A and B are shown apart, each in its own frame.
Chain A
Amino acid sequence: MKRLQEQARGRDIGDNLIIRTAVRLLVPFIQLFGLYVIVHGHYSPGGGFQGGVILGASFILLALAYDLRTSLRFMSERTNAILGNAGVLIFTGIAVLCALLGGLFLDYSALDRLISLGPIEWRSLGIFLVEVGVGTAVMSIMVSLFWDLGSGGEMDEGL
């Protein structure tokens, strides 16, 4: 355990060409699968939370195989914070919009008064929009949890 920690401090643990190449090939497919899980959340198992965790795990995998700076190059801390807040805003915004348009909180059929698609179609579309918000927020929180925990809050080096 102590030896592992010293190696991690010397940053030669996990410095492996095979792991790096495998992760570089794997990450786009993981992200595609995460998007699939979010989009198909209301037809099949999965949904915003699971898809968001898969999307966040792809960035965590990138930070594990390379280092924290590489993952920060693909998604900066600022972008991450904006995405997280935007996800929560999408969720609550749609819910409040439903209430403002005369329905209940999160009653998607009220959105029919905005664009006339029919209440049943709007229920399906409303769940999809809310799950996009949930997925974005969960992805951002998962990534920033790992960033802060892995670097001790300093955000310059990682595990």
Chain B
Amino acid sequence: MIWELDLFILALVVVCAVVAINIRDLLGAVVIFGVYSFLMCLLWAEMGAVDVAFTEATVGAGVSSVLFIAAIFRTTRRSKD
């Protein structure tokens, strides 16, 4: 465990979370959310929880991004913003 590295990745995670909430484009939000999941996976692995990091990489970054994109393709945009 290197706490400087932890802090750096944690700052990136917080930035990604804020951007994923505030971004207008849904597809962009999904991509940022994938980045968030990978950074979270890096953080778990760095802190020694390899099993949780594995789950985060497969479910969080892999399958859930694909499912989000599949859901977005089934939606239509009504509003003009």
Instruction: Give the chain A neighbours of B23 by CB distance below 8 A.
Output: none
Q: Are A1 and B27 in contact (CB under 8 A)?
A: yes
Q: Give the segment of B4-12, B14-22, B49-57 that binds chain A.
A: B49-57
Task: Write out the residue numbers on chain B whose beta carbons fall within 8 Å of the beta carbon of A152.
Answer: 74
Please state if A50 and B26 are interface contacts (CB–CB under 8 Å).
no
A150 and B70 form a contact (CB under 8 A): yes
The interface residues of chain B, by DSSP majority, are classed as helix
- The 8 Å CB contact of A53, one of B26, B27, B58, B71, is B58
B80: chain A residues at CB < 8 Å are: none
Pair A159/B73 contact, Cβ less than 8 Å: yes
Partner among B66, B74, B76, B77 whose Cβ is within 8 Å of the Cβ of A146 = B66
Q: Which residue of chain B has its CB nearest to the CB of A147?
A: B70
A12 CB to nearest chain B CB (Å): 14
User: In this assembly, does B47 line the interface, its C-beta being within 8 Å of a C-beta of chain A?
Assistant: no
Q: Is A5 an interface residue (CB 8 A)?
A: yes
The complex places the Cα of A5 from the Cα of B55 at a distance, in Å, of 31
The proximity string for A residues 50-64 relative to B, scoring 1 for CB distances below 8 Å and 0 otherwise, is 100110110010001
Chain A residues closer than 8 Å to B76, beta-carbon distance: 5
Contacts A4-B27, A50-B51, A149-B71 known; list 8 others, CB within 8 Å. A1-B26, A53-B55, A53-B58, A53-B63, A57-B62, A60-B66, A149-B70, A152-B74
Instruction: List 9 A-B pairs, minimum CB-CB distance, nearest first.
Output: A45-B50, A53-B58, A149-B70, A150-B70, A45-B51, A50-B54, A45-B54, A57-B62, A50-B58
